[in-house]
């Protein structure tokens, strides 16, 4: 029978170990531009299990750069769409989809039993949380970041340096906004995701991996490898203080990437989306599926998920987001 992994098994002389890859569980936090590509590569390589974590639903503006999604997916949760697509690529592997915000309350539960975590997130607060939970639980993770035409990636492994050794000061919450709306070239994510997955293969195979900070500007032809040192005073990897994981730092309201959007965790489980949508129908445009409600009033929109999480778009600030939610949903 044809061996689907034959070409990569021929890389055994370099250290690539298919038997270890086929026994590994990787968690991807954020299935956007980076996470889409990483998930695809890992699935094609025959990883044992992938857990896909993403709180967002697909928007039309995602499709130019997020290779997992097509036009008919608009409005559906990314993790669910990605799970279906990956199953078509490799029906032999296990895939879990988590449609939820990755936060201090669920982080340890989600990463439990992972061999490695890949960062597909788009904000520093989530990365500091990934850093806390992975350092505490001795799980290797791979940072990835992209903006405009700049990209970066590096490995954080147990007993080595961590993210806080690199970004030493803990930012104030007000500074932790998700990416500014400054744009992204769609040819950039696949390079950074490919670097992340290559490093994942090395770490999971048990061979030597990069200890440098990989940085590129794809537009200006800049490719750099920078040295990183462990900070002996680092609060996380040296002092074992996990302030993001224990909830001392972090927000219940999160500003989202672009489009003046905020996420609010209402903590109220929504049992009957149909009933709520009937009520809202009289006040604006409504559409719903079994996962969430989209409610539009003029150029403002509320998306309400079953677990009580809501995303409010088209508002100027946090106060307006809270007011809009209170007015129409009653939280």
Q: Where along the sequence are the contacts to Zn ion (CB under 5 A)?
A: 162, 164-165, 234, 236-237
CB 42 within 8 Å of CB 197: yes
Identity of the residue, 162 or 178, whose beta carbon is nearer to Zn ion in the bound complex = 162
Identity of the residue, 131 or 307, whose beta carbon is nearer to Zn ion in the bound complex = 131
Identity of the residue, 232 or 298, whose beta carbon is nearer to Zn ion in the bound complex = 232
CB 165 within 8 Å of CB 229: yes
Query: Residue 61 contacts by C-beta under 8 Å, 6 or more apart in sequence?
Result: none
Q: Which residue from 174, 312, 309 is spatially nearest to 249, judged by alpha carbons?
A: 174
Taking the C-alpha atoms of residue 56 and residue 76, their distance in angstroms, rounded to an integer, is 8
Identity of the residue, 50 or 166, whose beta carbon is nearer to Zn ion in the bound complex = 166
Identity of the residue, 37 or 164, whose beta carbon is nearer to Zn ion in the bound complex = 164
Q: Do the strands 222-227 and 253-255 form a parallel or antiparallel pair, or are they unpaired?
A: unpaired
CB of 127 to Zn ion, least distance (A): 13
CB of 103 to Zn ion, least distance (A): 21
Q: Which residue from 139, 142, 121, 162 is spatially nearest to 214, judged by alpha carbons?
A: 142
CB of 234 to Zn ion, least distance (A): 3
CB of 160 to Zn ion, least distance (A): 9
Angle between helices 188-205 and 33-44 (to 10 degrees): 40
CB of 235 to Zn ion, least distance (A): 8
């Amino acid at each position: 029978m044809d061996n689907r992994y034959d070409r990569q098994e021929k890389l055994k002389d370099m250290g690539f170990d298919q038997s270890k890859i086929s026994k590994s569980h990787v968690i991807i936090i954020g299935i956007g531009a980076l996470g889409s590509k990483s998930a695809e590569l890992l699935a094609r390589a025959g990883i044992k299990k992938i857990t896909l974590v993403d709180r967002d639903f697909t928007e039309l503006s995602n499709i130019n750069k997020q290779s997992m999604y097509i036009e008919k997916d608009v409005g559906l949760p990314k993790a669910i769409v990605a799970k279906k697509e990956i199953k078509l690529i490799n029906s032999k592997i296990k895939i879990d989809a988590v449609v939820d915000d990755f936060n201090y309350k669920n982080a340890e539960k989600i990463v439990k039993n992972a061999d490695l975590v890949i960062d597909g997130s788009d904000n520093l607060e989530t990365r500091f949380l990934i850093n806390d939970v992975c350092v505490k639980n001795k799980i290797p993770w791979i940072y990835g970041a992209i903006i405009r035409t700049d990209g970066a990636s590096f490995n954080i492994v147990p007993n080595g340096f961590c993210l806080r050794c690199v970004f030493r000061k803990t930012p104030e919450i007000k500074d932790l906004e998700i990416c500014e709306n400054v744009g992204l070239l769609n040819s950039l994510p696949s390079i950074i995701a490919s670097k992340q997955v290559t490093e994942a293969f090395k770490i999971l195979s048990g061979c030597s991996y990069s200890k440098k900070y990989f940085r590129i500007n794809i537009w200006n032809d800049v490719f750099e490898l920078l040295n990183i040192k462990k900070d002996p005073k680092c609060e996380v990897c040296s002092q074992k203080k996990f302030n993001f994981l224990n909830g001392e730092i972090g927000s219940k309201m999160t500003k989202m990437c672009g489009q003046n959007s905020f996420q609010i965790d209402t903590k109220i489980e929504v049992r009957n989306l149909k009933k709520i949508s009937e009520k809202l129908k009289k006040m604006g445009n409504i559409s719903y599926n079994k996962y969430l409600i989209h409610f539009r009033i003029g150029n403002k929109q509320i998306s309400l998920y079953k677990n009580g999480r809501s995303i409010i778009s088209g508002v100027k600030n946090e106060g307006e987001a809270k007011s809009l939610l209170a007015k129409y949903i009653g939280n």
